[in-house]
Amino acid sequence: MTLPNSFRVAWEGVMLNKLRSFLTTLGIIIGVAAVIIMLAVSAGAEAAIEDQISGLGANLIMVTPFRSFGGVRGGPGGGGPGSITTFTYDEVLFLSQNLNNVSGVSLEQSTTQTVKGGVSTLNSVSIVGVTADFLEVRDYEVGAGRFFTHAENDATQRVAVLGAGIAEDLFNDADPIGQQVRIGSSRFTVIGVMAEQGVVGATDNDGRIYIPASVVFKKFGGTGFGGDRVRMILVKAEDGDALEVVMDQITALLAGRRQIDPNEPNFGVRTQQDIVDARASTTAAFRSLLAWVAAVSLVVGGIGIMNIMLVSVTERTREIGLRQALGARPRDVQRQFLLEAVMLSLVGGLAGLVFGVAGSFIFGELGGMRTELVPLSLPLAFGASAAVGIFFGYYPATQAAQLDPIEALRRE
Amino acid sequence: MSEFVIEIHRMTKTYGEGDIAVHALIELDLQVERGDFVAIMGPSGSGKSTLMNIIGCLDRATSGLYILDGEDVSQMNRDQLASVRNRKVGFVFQSYNLLPRLSARKNVMLPMMYNGFQNWSEEQRSDRAAELLELVGLGDRLHHLPTELSGGQQQRVAIARALINDPSLILADEPTGNLDTRSSAEIMAIFHRLHQQGATIVMVTHEPDRALEAQRTVNVLDGRVVSPESEMERLVVS
């Protein structure tokens, strides 16, 4: 039998019982759509994490105590959970005075306070102590007024820069610059308002107030800011090429000051790429889990096809007998039923592609989660559905081919 | 070309082995000349059906020789037998066996799908099918589905299907078994016409009236062919 003929006969078989074919195909549709959506969801999650971390700013180096982040750079050891070594504000100043090839050194020490200003009182506002390099380190911009200077920071001036959201909440349309705000029990003068940023990741950057780090550590002694210890130092290298050099400098300087072996530091020095990589390995595990779950649903769809093909072979035994009597060889019969199974799965695969792509967008738009279509997942899922059709269609087709024409013709 | 379409020598068909072996055919001999119209008769269990299946190349004998239209088919495998059925045998079944979802014309074209007339275009095949339907008097029913046709009409479609590959042998198994007298007569008339045009027909039947319409009758009893005379003797003796 010629191939076009085989295709036509197989298609007629599929169309013989439309509802049944559709229901059988549904298993594959769901399987393929699940593969595509699952991969899109996990790729979206990865991208969101990556954005969040790279949102910290480019060429950024994070100096952290051990065990505050995933991966560790700088060798083993470094103390257990009880001996976490944070940093002092002096160490931050020391680094900022002695590092070369950097465009800024900052820290972010935050707490929440009640804030009064203008006509409003706001509870649980995020107050962040930063250095004057903060804007440079984070690539942030001021929308109105100015940020505080090194001189103001050194002189522990009580000045504040408001997030765009806070400024609006406190002063509405009035100009907040030069106004007083009360943070906890202290008065601050507003000297600037940050440019509007919106929500990045899970953080509302417009809902923060920035004050000089010196005020946090020298005036308040870190009260309410998690003690007088700095939890993380942020260093921005001049450019990407300087990253390694700066990291080595940080390790050498801090280790020298602490009088410890630079090869066994009790702090970690990492770039955001290191963190991205560490996160990526966990999301990769998550992704492969999702992919397996989706693959299982494809296999279940395949079993559905096998089931319906076995029923079909039984129901059409007489037709098979007739075709054999008219000259169909066993392989002609086998091909007919195998093609039928493959067609079911391919039609399912195609519909699954459409639903998968549409589903990914709908999830992204309405589900509140970020999805990113993985281009490779489309041929992968489609190919898998074809393979499922061949694999699960083979047995029923072989059963059909092996029928004895005399027996088959006698069947009612 | 051989003068015989069917030459069967000392054919035996045994089901099972040892003590439980059943001998359906025992050293059976049968020749059918080209252009012959033979009726095969016999009570159930006589081996009549087994003989018909072997003649139609649906089954193989345990031993013996079967030459169909000059081709020794006794030792052929399943694929070769399928090809022989396709090219040399036109089947007409008691229950018509049309595919319900195909039109009369598509049903007639079905055997061409399997190697027959491979080099014919779709149009030529379609024309050929229409011609044959015309021949059996269904020129106006080309696009009807089997369910839209009477039993007699369905059987005529089946005869057209049997003729499509120009077979050396038309093998009809109780072709009028499901039909009323009038339709039966119509079917038999078609067979007579085909016979007159030179077709070789083997018809299995249990109706003596139908058998009488054939050129000759072969009686099968207990796996052997018995002559009418010896059959008569047997009846007289008992």
**What residues does B225 pair with on adjacent strands?**
B220
Task: Render pLDDT for A225-238 as a digit per residue (tens, 0 to 9).
Answer: 766 778 888 888 88
Q: From the CB of residue A135, how many other CB atoms can be counted at a distance below 10 Å?
A: 21
Q: How far is A329 from chain B (nearest CA, A)?
A: 5
Q: From the CB of residue A117, how many other CB atoms can be counted at a distance below 10 Å?
A: 24
Q: How far is B184 from chain A (nearest CA, A)?
A: 22
Dihedral over alpha carbons B23, B24, B30, B35 (to 10 degrees): -170
Nearest by Cα to A63 from A274, A239, A283: A274
How far is it, in rounded angstroms, from Cα B167 to Cα A325?
Answer: 13
How far is it, in rounded angstroms, from Cα A227 to Cα A214?
Answer: 14
Nearest CA in chain A to B56: A325
- Which residues of chain A make contact with B163, given a CB cutoff of 8 A? none
Length of chain B: 238
- Which residues of chain B make contact with A327, given a CB cutoff of 8 A? 82-83, 85-87, 111, 114-116, 165
How far is it, in rounded angstroms, from Cα B161 to Cα B190?
Answer: 13
- Which residues of chain A make contact with B97, given a CB cutoff of 8 A? 318, 322, 325, 409
Residue spans per domain, chain A: 3-51+280-410, 106-235
Are residues B91 and A5, on separate chains, in Cβ contact within 8 Å? no
- Which residues of chain B make contact with A412, given a CB cutoff of 8 A? none
Q: From the CB of residue A319, how many other CB atoms can be counted at a distance below 10 Å?
A: 23
Are residues A327 and B83, on separate chains, in Cβ contact within 8 Å? yes
How many CB pairs below 8 A link A and B?
62
Q: Does B97 touch chain A (CB under 8 A)?
A: yes
Q: How far is B171 from chain A (nearest CA, A)?
A: 11
Q: Which residues contact A182 (CB under 8 A, 6 or more apart)?
A: A115, A116, A117, A188
* % helix, strand, coil for chain A, step of 5: 55, 20, 25
For residue B235, the model assigns a pLDDT of 61
Q: Tokens 């001036």 label which residue?
A: A157
Tens of each residue's pLDDT in chain A, 412 residues? 677 778 888 888 888 888 999 999 998 999 899 888 888 888 888 787 777 666 666 688 888 887 534 444 444 444 444 445 688 888 888 888 888 888 889 888 888 888 888 778 888 888 899 998 888 888 888 888 999 998 898 888 899 999 988 888 888 888 888 888 998 888 999 999 998 887 665 567 788 899 998 888 877 766 667 667 788 888 888 887 888 888 888 888 888 888 888 888 888 888 877 777 777 777 778 878 887 887 888 889 899 999 999 999 999 999 999 999 999 999 999 999 999 999 999 999 999 999 999 999 988 888 777 888 888 888 988 898 889 999 999 999 999 999 999 999 988 7
Q: Phi first, then psi: what are they for A56, rounded to 5°? A: -65, -20
**What residues does A173 pair with on adjacent strands?**
none
Q: Which of B53, B87, B101 sits opposite A12 (nearest CB)?
A: B101
- Which residues of chain A make contact with B83, given a CB cutoff of 8 A? 327, 329
How far is it, in rounded angstroms, from Cα B36 to Cα B56?
Answer: 16
Residue to mutate among B97, B106, B120, B154, with most A CBs inside 10 A, is B97
Q: From the CB of residue A118, how many other CB atoms can be counted at a distance below 10 Å?
A: 16
Q: Which tokens belong to A348?
A: 């399912």
3-class secondary-structure state, position B219: strand
Tens of each residue's pLDDT in chain B, 238 residues? 568 999 999 999 999 888 888 999 999 999 999 999 999 999 888 999 999 999 999 999 999 999 999 999 999 999 999 999 999 999 999 999 999 989 999 999 999 888 756 678 888 889 999 999 999 999 999 999 999 999 999 999 999 999 999 999 999 999 999 999 999 999 999 999 999 999 999 999 988 888 889 999 999 999 999 876 555 555 665 5
Residue to mutate among A16, A324, A329, A340, with most B CBs inside 10 A, is A329
Are residues A327 and B59, on separate chains, in Cβ contact within 8 Å? no
Q: Which tokens belong to A288?
A: 């492969």
Cβ atoms A186, A158 nearer than 8 A: yes
How far is it, in rounded angstroms, from Cα A188 to Cα A155?
Answer: 14
Q: Which of B99, B102, B114 sits opposite A327 (nearest CB)?
A: B114
Cβ atoms A403, A319 nearer than 8 A: no
- Which residues of chain A make contact with B87, given a CB cutoff of 8 A? 327
Nearest CA in chain B to A8: B113
Cβ atoms A62, A247 nearer than 8 A: no
DSSP state of B133: H
Domains of chain B: 34-49+76-237 (3.40.50.300)
Q: How far is A406 from chain B (nearest CA, A)?
A: 7
Nearest CA in chain B to A332: B114
